[in-house]
A and B are shown apart, each in its own frame.
Chain A
Amino acid sequence: MKRSLIGALCVMAVAGGTFAQAPKKPAPKAPAQVAPVEAAEAKDAATLEFEKFRAEMEESNPAELFEMKGEEQWKTRRGPKNVSLAESCDLGQGVGKVEGAYVRMPRYFADADAVMDAERRIVWCMVEKQGFKFADIAARPFANENFTPDITNLVTYVAGHSRNMKIAVPLDDPKVREAWEIGKEIAAYRAGPYDFSCNTCHGSDNKRIRMQNLPNISTPRGALMGVQGWPGYRMTGGVMLTHQWRMGDCFRQQRFPQPKYASDAVADLLTYMIGNANGQVYKGPGIKR
């Protein structure tokens, strides 16, 4: 099964022609790549201190408060159509099933004819099933110091039900594969006043900004670092933020126009990054400095 999958990916790589290198999906390779990076990191005292700090904070992560709110909102009948997401929303594992749904997205949803990450899918459910207006959700999609949108609670709740599960984005689905390839292109797209791309910071190893190590999202381990901890509780300001928010913020830092909320572009980028982290363990909603 696995062998035939790898075969299929190689064929696609040749047929696509735009690949700089063969897709790095085969799982058996991952551990070999992980070890040396870890050894190099062990020497960095600052990184160790940060990890100690994070471990301490992870024990009592305020993200759990948002999970609780999200659970209530998931199960409550809401919106103009007065239905709950628990009885109407299919995250790819069956209607209302949240267990393991987060680590298996982005995925292709035939009913929406789109590849969707968790947040985009939940928004779709809120609009299609509950009757909320997309424009209302998209007007204030992310949390600030005085306000946390429902969607953030819901994403945190769903993500909490994939704790300690293996990331398994269905990259063998041709639609998802296509999104992965577009995401890869977006990550490499240089533009703006600084002639920046995502890859300027996140396309090679051993880069950092001030004390922050920057993960190389083209590698399995680097991609995992970009996925781990989202959605995350940011201690600065005490706000709960989602992976969608993080993508938008990367564009802001590049001085790009912000991508539209819950758009194809963000879903593609997330497919690329989360897909690259396939096979590794997701620890659930995180905490950020």
Chain B
Amino acid sequence: MENSRFLVSSSPHIRSGETTQRIMLDVIIALMPALLAGVFYFGLNALTLTAVAVAFAVAAEAVMQKILGKPVTVNDLSAVVTGILIAFNVPVTLPLWMVAVGSIFAIAIAKQCFGGLGYNFINPALAARAMLLASWPVRMTGWVAPGADAVSTATPLAILKGGEAAGQALPGLLDMFIGNIGGCIGETSALALIIGGAYLLYRGVINIRIPVSYIGTVAVLTFLFGGFDSSAMFYHVLAGGLFLGAIFMATDYSTSPMTPKGQIIFGIGCGFLTSVIRFFGGYPEGVSYSILLMNLATPLIDKYTMPRKFGEVKKNA
């Protein structure tokens, strides 16, 4: 037993088993029910679109990191999450090359140009959605009804909003809950998204502050704006990707506040903007733009919601 060379480092000498990769894997697992629902309602094409989005996101990450001379970190799985979320935010009829462009934009521009994982100031998947919607507005709203025939349809919110979709029959609330409606691949089934969200809560990946304050605010405000009509409230809560946004996009670590109080403010802010856009703005939906806007406010929210430190005393002694 001679003195061999022992490692000397600063405490703590043990670390938890949690890793970035494990967290991202949990998010991927949590997104699977919604992917299955997407495939079930919109066909295998939903799976193809998702695979393409993921492949291009991962490739874009590796290429960008090579170009920037950084270590390639695609095995942290964060690009896979972004790829899935991009596919979830487009209609199933979108051409494959368009979703590929979205993936490249999300990773190369919105994420890597700002420093990579943890440094992006807006949600890369939502940035890609906004870019696609601005570039190909017709393609990005090419909704089809669930089923093999791919009959074109309108989303419930477009119907509620009026305009050219006015007059179409609104789907029933149960269909909206299970996802049997037109919309983006991953947004239609609130049920599947809630199952995924419950898994993330169980695993401690997210906490309930942002989803609950976001969805709660939308419920309250749409009830008020809709003239105290509870059925309108239910439509607004279940439609337009609110569950996808509230559970999976607004809770993105890099672009949402770290303080508990800040997370509640962030959720309320998202809910307020979503309701205002839907009732008073030009778009029928509004989840993605409200989250993007609140992303911009995140550093400020964090700054002004710093927790009261333990033992802080008023200077009056």
Partners in one complex: no
Residues of B whose CB lies within 8 Å of any CB of A are none
Residues of A whose CB lies within 8 Å of any CB of B are none
